[in-house]
Structure 1
Amino acid sequence: MTKIYAVANQKGGVGKTTTCVNLAASLVATKKRVLLVDLDPQGNATMGSGVDKSELEETIYDVLTDQAAAADCLVVSEAGKYHVLPANGDLTAAEVEMLSMPNKERRLDLVLKQVAGNYDYILIDCPPSLNMLTLNALAACHGVIIPMQCEYYALEGLSALIGTINQIHQVLNPQLKIEGILRTMYDPRNSLTNDVSAQLHEHFGDRVYRTCVPRNVRLAEAPSYGQPVLVYDRQSKGAIAYLALAGEIIRRNEQGAGSDPINSEMAH
């Protein structure tokens, strides 16, 4: 069965796009068929996959507003060997247009149903806010992967996000759960990092991925070459971390772990 994951956190700069691009490439490296859905008008996941967002004829905007079929908008990331449903600035207009459309929270869900059978994994790169696009992602996915830095304000943002996930679980998408929390830009020498990490384990237990993504120059450089870090520098710590994360996600799926709804005191 196709697994659909939204990579979400309303806080910007936590590594959502980096995670989408590099996890997609790492899953492909383990022989999985992957679709990356760019749901951010900035189009960073599109560019980071080596696709020029300014030259696109059709994007996810056209699909969400019923002007094109999903299959006609798919492009291939030559570097990462996965498919991309690309985005650019046009997507900003979709937010407004979707408000007056029927089933506005389920537009993406209907789109993904057209193509889901062709993939093992679909990853959705969400914008850094809880808007109509993010709502569509949360209504369409099975689980949320939350990348976060281990810093003081991150915990505050996390509890707001969990509140939203709980609401959507109750109202729109009963299968929605927290798939996992990914610690990014991780520096174990920092005492605050260790404190926040300990709190995450206390509240979320094995929902916290064992894999941590370290601060890594190669990981930061790769997007400017339109490549996943696995292609840019396979030996880098960033590449090794995302391969490990892919392995962890696949193992969890095979074991059917983490299928219970969210109950955490942080959510209240």
Structure 2
Amino acid sequence: MLDIASFSGVFAFANQKGGVGKTTTAVSLAACLADEGVETLIVDFDPQGNASTGVGIDRRSVKVGSYEVLAGVDPMEGVRATEIERLSVLPSTIDLAGAEIELVSAFARESKLRTVLAPLRERYHAILIDSPPSLGLLTVNALVAADAVVVPIQCEYYALEGLGQLVRTLELVRDGLNPTLSIAGVVLTMYDARTRLAEQVVAEVRRHFGEDVFRTVIPRSVRLSEAPGFGKPITRYDPTTRGAQAYRDLAKEFIDRWNATRARAGQNQDPARDAGKE
């Protein structure tokens, strides 16, 4: 039986390589967590805004988003409910694209998002940050704000390409900005059981990351790729598909794994953040 009451955390979804299923995984997992009874918030921290549109938000109607919140607007002014009970989103606008440049000269530039999210941790048990496919200041902010990072990797050629740089970035963030940052798990996406290549990639990733890799593998699916175009997570677009079931399985594994991680670390309550005490 899932221990929903103990589940709590902020999670950054990161991979500087595009097209790996990062946003699809963030949105789908968020929807499944909400369905399991977890009060969940998606923070769209990617200027492309795909996480926002993926839960039905018309970005043209967004007046307050993650950019405005970084600039000092109350984050609850930007948070929107979705059609899924217990799932909300802080959407992004195209203005977020300029934040990378603006943050360069900002005071405490790497911890802006952590400060913004600190009061929201009381309201939401799971905060999922969809970061851009890069390792710039927006992604660094996501990593500094997070308790743990989720790394989606596609089961295709060059799956591990560039991940060395991501791992080094995680180490740098741990060393100076967020010493408790951990890897919540590596998610294998776009798995095609018909190909030998997919099996080889799975074996290679598991060999490289060991127990950090989730048991649940997300299959390649036409319906999964269609769902964002309709502004719905796969669990709402076509809940009977293998993709929808895979994300439901992933959510359960995710909850159990994170609860176990926190228990091992001796964390019996929400992680205290320095930003929340300022």
Which bracket does the TM-score occupy, shorter chain normalised? over 0.9
**Structure 2 gaps, min length 5:** 1-6, 266-278
Residues 210-242 of structure 1: CA deviation (Å, up to 9, x unaligned):
111101111111111111111111101111011
Taking the TM superposition and a 5 Å limit, the aligned residue runs for 1:173-252 are 173-252=178-257
Report the number of matched residues.
259
Amino acid at match of 2:128: L
8 Å CA contact retained: 1:2, 1:117: no
Greater shift, 90-99 or 6-15, is seen at 90-99
8 Å CA contact retained: 1:48, 1:228: yes
Residues 38-78 of structure 1: CA deviation (Å, up to 9, x unaligned):
00001110001101011111111011112x11111101111
**Structure 1 gaps, min length 5:** 261-268
Secondary structure in 1 aligned to 2:18? coil
Tell me the residue number matched to 2:39: 33
8 Å CA contact retained: 1:80, 1:231: no
State percent identity of aligned pairs. Answer: 45
Tell me the residue number matched to 1:82: 87
In structure 2, the CA distance between the partners of 1:6 and 1:259, relative to structure 1 (3 Å rule), is farther
In structure 2, the CA distance between the partners of 1:259 and 1:144, relative to structure 1 (3 Å rule), is farther
Measured on the aligned residues, the alpha-carbon RMSD in Å equals 1.6
Task: Give 1:92 shift.
Answer: 0.9
Amino acid at match of 2:243: G
Residues 23-50 of structure 1: CA deviation (Å, up to 9, x unaligned):
0100011000000000000111000110
The two structures have a TM-score, normalised by structure 2, of 0.89
Task: Give 1:188 shift.
Answer: 2.3
After TM superposition, what 4+ stretches of structure 1 lie above 6 angstroms from structure 2? Answer: 257-260
Give the distance between the partners of 1:9 and 1:58, measured in 2 at CA. 26
Task: Give 1:258 shift.
Answer: 10
8 Å CA contact retained: 2:14, 2:151: yes
Residues 158-204 of structure 1: CA deviation (Å, up to 9, x unaligned):
22211111111111110111111100000122222212211222222
Matched, 1:8 2:17: no
1:45 corresponds to which of 33, 40, 51: 51
Taking the TM superposition and a 5 Å limit, the aligned residue runs for 1:97-112 are 97-112=102-117
8 Å CA contact retained: 2:100, 2:138: yes
The two structures have a TM-score, normalised by structure 1, of 0.92
Tell me the residue number matched to 1:265: none
Amino acid at match of 2:142: A
8 Å CA contact retained: 1:146, 1:181: yes
Task: Give 1:257 shift.
Answer: 6.7
Tell me the residue number matched to 1:72: 77
